[in-house]
Amino acid sequence: MGTVMAVFDFNGDTAELTAKYDKLLDRVVEVSPARPVIHLAVPREYGLMVCDVWDDEAVLQAFVDNPDFRRVLQEFGMPDPKLRVFPVHNLGWPFPELPLYR
């Protein structure tokens, strides 16, 4: 499929989920077989939304299917996320038009 955006929705108390996320992120990185191109964690009214952009859907699937990933979520008391996957049409701004950082 090519580049995809994965949205992990964690439902629950936003402050509680954000605190748990802050504690578990380093462990998720340690056990992950791959890294996303972009990673965002966004507090929402329903809990926490984590958005990742992956180079390939197969790489995302390897990340999601990793039993260590699920184990870390359980260890830190995170609920099972609802996963939504979207194809990415464009990633980033055209460099000649606008500097990436100001």
**3.30.70.600, 2.40.37.10, 3.40.640.10, 3.40.50.300: which CATH number matches 4-87?**
3.30.70.600
**Which H/E stretch holds residue 53?**
strand 47-54
Q: Are 48 and 29 in contact (CB under 8 A)?
A: no
pLDDT tens digits, one per residue of 6-57: 999 999 999 999 999 999 999 999 999 899 999 999 999 999 999 999 999 9
Helix (H), strand (E), coil (C) string for 59-99 = HHHHHHHCHHHHHHHHHCCCCCCEEEEEECCCCCCCCCCCC
Query: For the chain, what are the domain ranges?
Result: 4-87
Q: What is the pTM (predicted TM-score) of this model?
A: 0.89
Beta-carbon contacts of 99 under 8 Å, excluding residues fewer than 6 positions away, are none
